[in-house]
């Protein structure tokens, strides 16, 4: 009985790992470009978003703001297509 449970746990772990790996592949192929500046607030980031010009070629038609991991309290603008 204990062996069957161990096998089930191992199979569940393998399936969970495989699911996470395929999710990572999908997001790693997403075409995004993070711009160079930081913004002091989320509101400032969203206000600047429509006027930001990409420095790389592409059809960048959408943006979102994410917390800056380096500068606490700051926001970074990310462009996507």
Same domain (yes/no): 69, 79: yes
> Which residue range is the domain that position 19 belongs to?
1-29
Q: In this structure, how many other beta carbons lie within 10 angstroms of the beta carbon of residue 64?
A: 13
Same domain (yes/no): 17, 41: no
The pLDDT value recorded for residue 39 is 94
Q: What is the pLDDT along the chain (81 residues), one digit of tens a residue?
A: 567 666 665 555 545 555 555 444 444 555 677 676 789 999 999 999 888 888 777 777 888 899 999 889 999 998 887
The pLDDT value recorded for residue 25 is 47
The pLDDT value recorded for residue 38 is 86
Same domain (yes/no): 81, 58: yes
3-state secondary structure of 55: coil
| CA angle (17 as vertex; 15, 22 as ends), nearest 5 | 95
The pLDDT value recorded for residue 35 is 72
The token pair that represents 36 in the structure block: 């160079």
Tally the domains of the chain: 2
Pairwise CA distance, residues 41 & 48, whole Å: 11
Same domain (yes/no): 52, 77: yes
Same domain (yes/no): 35, 56: yes
- Give yes or no for a contact between 63 and 77, defined as CB atoms under 8 angstroms apart: yes
The pLDDT value recorded for residue 65 is 93
Same domain (yes/no): 25, 35: no
Same domain (yes/no): 22, 52: no
Same domain (yes/no): 52, 63: yes
Same domain (yes/no): 44, 73: yes
H-helix or E-strand containing 29?
none
């Amino acid at each position: 009985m204990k062996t069957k449970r161990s096998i089930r746990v191992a199979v569940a772990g393998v399936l969970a790992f495989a699911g996470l790996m395929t999710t990572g592949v999908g997001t790693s192929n997403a075409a995004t470009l993070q711009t160079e500046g930081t913004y002091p607030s989320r509101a400032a980031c969203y206000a600047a978003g429509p006027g930001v010009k990409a420095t790389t070629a592409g059809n960048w038609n959408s943006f979102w703001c994410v917390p800056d991991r380096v500068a606490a309290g700051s926001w970074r603008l990310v462009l996507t297509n």
